[in-house]
Amino acid sequence: MQTSEKGLDLIRKHEGLVLSAYLCPGKKLTIGYGHTGPDVKSGQKIDVEEANALLQKDVQRFEHAVNELVTAPMTQGMFDALISFSFNLGAGSLKGSTLLKKLNADDRAAAANEFLKWNKANGKVLAGLTKRRECERELFLA
């Protein structure tokens, strides 16, 4: 499966667009729509076109991971929600999660509720993460 425009919009909305490198709440150097990695340098600036290219590249990596990890049938909304989740937390978080275990056991309702547990950064509940997880859960159930 591939991420729909609705899934990309969810990521864009919750990541926001920042064209200069900054430290995110998770203490990672970030640019564009939540892009992190060794290519992000302090003081770096990009334009909107570069931000969209980085988003597409990042999303492809998570599409591969979600397609590999999920063995249960998925709707487009479920897939998009899992891409947003993985984009924000990393595919490793999805891989070891109860969310994935419940989804692969075809317990969709229980899997959906697992999104809400992932609303902390550095041990603190963040309102932005709480809202993002609620939106992901809603899309997952759509």
Active-site residue flag, 68: no
- Residue 47 tokens, joined: 């334009």
**What is the C-alpha to C-alpha distance for residues 52 and 31, in angstroms, rounded to an integer?**
11
**What is the C-alpha to C-alpha distance for residues 26 and 6, in angstroms, rounded to an integer?**
25
For residue 39, give the 3-state DSSP assignment: coil
> 15, 63, 114, 136: which one is catalytic?
15
- Residue 140 tokens, joined: 């997952």
In terms of DSSP bridges, do strands 124-125 and 18-23 run parallel, antiparallel, or are they unpaired? unpaired
**Active-site residue list:** 15
